[in-house]
Amino acid sequence: MHEEWTDKLSDYLDGELEAADQAAVEAHLRECRDCSAVLNDLKRVVSRAQGLDVRPPARDLWGGVSARIDRMASPRRISFTLPQLAAAAVVLMAVSATLAVTLLRRTETPNTIVQAPAAAQAPSTSPAATGSGTTDTPIVERVSLADAQYDAAVADLEKAVKNGRGRLDKATVDIVEHNLQIIDQAIAQARDALAADPANGYLSGHLVEARRRKLDLLRRAAALAESD
């Protein structure tokens, strides 16, 4: 078998060769029985591939599909009604206002109030808890303020929401943006407070929660924009 020729046989079979190459292959095929046999085999392979029947799955998969689409909104339905979004905005405003007041009070108090000593806490297997044998050292999990993965996820979702903005009605866009503004404000407040008191576990927890809430809201908004 001559590989320099057989390598061209699929292209020849599919009519993909330039005229000169095609003529050269044809001339070779007239003289070479091996390559002609390979070409015939390839023709059989292609012919059988084109004649394959489809086969259904061995088990019925509809139950799984049905369960999943039941859990989501229908294609033209909006996942959240306007009153629901409005209610969410009110709750967020109330939570944000309460937290802002709390933050101001907490940042003026010693660390020992915001984080109980390790010995007073419920048993924990976390490295921070098991690594401390003293009772006067606060166990505080620091929050990374420069979480590249989080920032990238937020940026991606913000882009998705921006791109899908045209598919959402104005009232929905206004509410989503208003909620984001509130959450961003809460994040900024928590960051400022943490800058003054970096070891404050309560503030760290609040910042984590606010960031999680922002991610969640962006995910929902992106899903709305995609599904609408």
Partner 1 sequence: MALTAGEARLPRTVDDDVARAAQGDASAFERLYRTHVARIHSLTRRMLGPHEADEVTQDVFVRTWQKLGQFRGDSAFGTWLHRLAVNVVIERRRTFAIQRERISDDQTALDLATVGPARADLTLDFEAAIEQLPPGAREIFVLHDIEGYKHREIGSMLDITTGTSKRQLHRARMLMRKYLGG
What residues make contact with partner 1 under the rule CB under 8 A? 6-7, 9-11, 16, 38, 41-42, 44-46, 48-50, 52-57, 59, 61-62, 64-66, 68-70, 72, 74-77, 226-228
127 exposure class (CB count in 10 Å sphere: 0-12, 13-18, 19+): exposed
From the CB of 50, what's the least distance to partner 1, in Å? Answer: 7
- Shortest separation between residue 70's beta carbon and partner 1, angstroms: 8
Taking the CA atoms of residue 163, residue 166, residue 167 and residue 171 in that order, the dihedral angle to the nearest 10 degrees is 120
Instruction: Give the nearer residue to partner 1 in terms of CB position, either 77 or 142.
Output: 77
Q: In terms of CB distance, is 73 or 208 closer to partner 1?
A: 73
Do residues 186 and 96 touch, judged by C-beta distance below 8 A? yes
Neighbours of 164 (CB within 10 A): 18
Q: Of 146, 221, 214, which Cα lies nearest the Cα of 186?
A: 214
- Give min distance, CB of 227 to partner 1, in A: 6
Unique residue bearing structure tokens 């039941």: 70
d(CA 86, CA 84): 5
Q: Which is nearer to partner 1, 59 or 105 (CB)?
A: 59
Q: Which is nearer to partner 1, 50 or 134 (CB)?
A: 50
> Considering the complex, what minimum distance in angstroms separates the CB of residue 61 from partner 1?
5
Residue recorded with tokens 């009153």: 83
Residue whose CB is less far from partner 1, 210 or 223? 223
Instruction: Tell the smallest beta-carbon distance from residue 27 to partner 1 (Å).
Output: 20
